[in-house]
Amino acid sequence: MNALLFNVTLGIYFLATVTYLAYLVKPRDSLGRTSHWLISIGFLVHCAFTVDRYVEAGHTPITNLHEALSFFGLALVGTFIAFERRYKVFIIGSFVTPLAFVLMVVSSLFPSAITPLNPTLMSKWLAVHTTLAFLGYASFALAFGAGIMYLIQEHFLKSRKLGAMYQKLPSLEMLDEINYRCLTFGFPLLTFAIISGAIWAETAWGTYWSWDPKETWSLITWFVYAALLHGRLTTGWRGKRAAILAIIGFCILLFTFLGVNLLMPGLHSYK
């Protein structure tokens, strides 16, 4: 049942990726509507998969790489749908669905067996801490997507090749606005994730902060996004520079999420 739900999600995300990319090349309304339906259904199936696994495992399914990547995909698609409804920037889907599909493919490469919970993770904070963190990651991923689109769009404008893609991409102002909006969600979520992690660390290890690699790297990410937010207050850090910084920020975040767990010893490594 669990594997079936996972594979159905994977399949739907694949179809959505195809239709969203096709939409980018040939912007027909019917393609757009189909894509939107596909990703929404995919999200529901993905939710069902996650709930089913939660019930089976008895804890938030996020404790090995298979689960964590899938959870990231779920948070990403969910955040995208919320943003899409709010800002009507449908085209971001052409960026988000391929990413969600890749996350699911990579997730499927890792062993899917349910791993028993190590004593440290047996805490109500597991659900709170990880959900906050992954929703934050998802917002930053959208900011990253908006940043990439900004650079593409700017390239079109500069080279004066205004093709179909140029017409479909939102205006530079809109992309900058989306970038900023994503940061204003991602940054609070990241902050709350760090605070909830500190509370958990205090009850589990007796210290709210121990400069563990994961803690340090999330603080590094926090510093970078804090710098970006303050940079926007001075007019110079909008537009292209903000787009580039959102991209750099997300690369650091990816390292915090995956690099630290895979490369550095510590309390967050997936075993």
Partner 1 sequence: MTTDNRGVVQSVWDFFCSLKLSIFLLIGLAVTSIIGTIIPQGPPAPEYLQTISQAKFKIYAALGFFDMYHSWWFLLLLYLLTINLIACSIKRLPRVWKIISEPTLVMDEGFEKSLSLTHEVKVGGEPAALKDRAAAFLRKEFAEPRLTEVDGEYHFFAEKNPYCRLGVYVVHLSIIIIFIGAIIGSLAGYKGYAAIPEGGSVSTIESRSGKQIDLGFAVKCEKFSVSFYDTGAPKEFRSILTVLENGKPVPGYENVKVIVNQPLTYKGITFYQSSYGPTGEGGVFHFTVRERKGGAPVPLTVRQGERASLPGGGTIQVLEATQEVRSVLPQFSGPAARIEVTPPGGSPQPFVVFRDYPKFDEERGGNLIFTYEGADEKYYTGLQVAKDPGVWVVWLGCALMVVGILLAFFLSHKRIWVRVARGRVTMGGTASKNQAGFQLAFDELVDKLKSI
Would you tell me which residues interact with partner 1 (CB under 8 A)? 116-120, 122-123, 177, 184-185, 187-188, 191-192, 195, 198-200, 202-209, 211, 213, 216-217, 219-220, 223-224, 226-227, 230-231, 233-234, 252, 260, 264
Give the shortest CB-64-to-partner 1 separation in angstroms.
12
**How far apart (Å, rounded) are the C-alpha atoms in residues 191 and 197?**
10
**How far apart (Å, rounded) are the C-alpha atoms in residues 64 and 112?**
8
Give the shortest CB-265-to-partner 1 separation in angstroms.
9
64 near 111, Cβ under 8 Å?
A: yes
**How far apart (Å, rounded) are the C-alpha atoms in residues 58 and 114?**
10
- Looking at the Cβ atoms of 52 and 177, the one nearer to partner 1 is 177
Kindly list the distances between the CA atom of residue 56 and the CA atoms of 43, 125, 159, 169, in Å, as whole numbers in the listed order: 20, 19, 54, 42
Give the shortest CB-213-to-partner 1 separation in angstroms.
4
- Looking at the Cβ atoms of 81 and 174, the one nearer to partner 1 is 174
Give the shortest CB-99-to-partner 1 separation in angstroms.
25
Burial class (CB in 10 A: 0-12, 13-18, 19+), 105: middle
Rounded to 5 degrees, φ, ψ at 27 are -75, 85
- Looking at the Cβ atoms of 30 and 233, the one nearer to partner 1 is 233
- Looking at the Cβ atoms of 165 and 219, the one nearer to partner 1 is 219
Contacts of 196 (CB under 8 A, 6+ apart): 125, 128, 129, 132
Q: Which residue in the block uniquely carries the two structure tokens 């189909």?
A: 34
- Looking at the Cβ atoms of 56 and 202, the one nearer to partner 1 is 202
**How far apart (Å, rounded) are the C-alpha atoms in residues 25 and 164?**
7
Give the shortest CB-264-to-partner 1 separation in angstroms.
6
Give the shortest CB-157-to-partner 1 separation in angstroms.
22
- Looking at the Cβ atoms of 163 and 265, the one nearer to partner 1 is 265
